[in-house]
């Protein structure tokens, strides 16, 4: 449950130091597992440039994909928060670019989600709506809804997420996110529930929160599919 404190512990893996939850069940839904490294005996050449390894040209493993490269093709150390590494770790060029793009989510959009936005929330087919603040929990595992009532949605129990838009903006600009439609299974239930959120008074803040949530959904689905 969301009320259980999430302790952290420092662990050392072959790839480096990681700060992970003491209970693995409390991992962030955005996190990725460390890959299995390609065994040294199965890798005699760089998997990027095909350079043959010898006493001078040493092999290195990318911490994100686990493949084997020479120093030239795997020299850059990049932050990898999705695997909970404390320090930047060695990654191949392809993985390094992906990790750098993800850092925008952790540096900017995650803070927006934690800060929250105000929405008009409707559950199921009810004709009753409530103005609520929605924010991501500090452990990234829940969406908290606070108004006259309170409830939460566990991200791992969301089956679909659709961002709603208000059409093209004045002047022919791009459409702006104005709401979100979720389908999820409440705790203790196997029946899907629909939740509709529409931006309340501060539509700019709500739109930024929804855009951040759209990015979060991509990471969430990627983590599920690994």
Cα distance between residue 162 and residue 118, in whole Å:
18
Percent of residues, the chain, with pLDDT higher than 90: 68
Give the pLDDT confidence score for residue 22 in this predicted structure: 79
CB burial of residue 1 (10 Å; 0-12, 13-18, 19+): exposed
- Half-sphere exposure (CA, 13 Å, Cβ side) for 212? 25
Cα end-to-end distance, the chain, whole Å: 24
- Residue 169 per-residue DSSP state: P
Q: In this predicted model, what pLDDT tens digit does every residue of 25-73 receive, in sequence order?
A: 678 889 899 999 999 999 999 999 999 999 889 999 999 999 999 999 9
Average pLDDT over residues 114-139: 93
Residue 119 pLDDT > 90: yes
**What domains are defined for the chain?**
8-110 (3.30.40.10), 116-167+177-225 (2.30.29.160)
Cα distance between residue 48 and residue 59, in whole Å:
12
Residue 117 pLDDT > 60: yes
R_g of the chain, CA atoms, integer Å: 21
Residue 4 pLDDT > 50: no
Give the pLDDT confidence score for residue 2 in this predicted structure: 44
- Which is nearest to 61 in space by CA: 20, 85, 90, 87? 90
Considering only residues 128 and 3, tell me which one the structure prediction assigns the higher pLDDT: 128
Residue 11 pLDDT > 80: yes
The pTM (predicted TM-score) of the whole model is: 0.81
Alpha helices in 1-131 (DSSP H): 93-104, 110-115
Average pLDDT, the chain: 89
């Amino acid at each position: 449950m969301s009320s259980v404190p999430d302790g952290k512990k420092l662990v050392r893996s072959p790839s480096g130091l990681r700060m992970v939850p003491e209970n693995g069940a409390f991992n962030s839904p955005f996190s990725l597992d460390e890959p299995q490294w390609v065994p040294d005996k199965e890798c005699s050449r760089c998997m990027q440039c095909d350079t043959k390894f010898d006493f001078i040209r040493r092999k290195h493993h990318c911490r994100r994909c686990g493949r084997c490269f020479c120093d030239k093709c795997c020299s850059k150390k990049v932050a990898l928060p999705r695997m909970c590494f404390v320090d930047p770790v060695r990654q191949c060029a392809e993985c390094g670019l992906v990790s750098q793009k993800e850092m925008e989510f952790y540096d900017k959009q995650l803070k927006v989600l934690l800060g929250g936005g105000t929405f008009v929330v409707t559950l199921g087919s009810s004709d009753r709506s409530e103005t609520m603040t929605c924010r991501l929990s500090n452990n990234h595992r829940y969406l908290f809804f606070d108004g006259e009532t309170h409830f939460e949605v566990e991200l791992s129990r969301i089956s679909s997420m659709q961002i709603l838009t208000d059409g093209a903006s004045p002047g022919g600009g791009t459409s702006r996110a104005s709401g979100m439609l979720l389908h999820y299974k409440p705790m203790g239930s196997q029946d899907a529930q629909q939740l509709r959120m529409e931006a309340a008074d501060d539509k700019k803040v709500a739109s930024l929160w929804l855009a951040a949530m759209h990015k979060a959904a991509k990471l969430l689905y990627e983590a599920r599919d690994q």
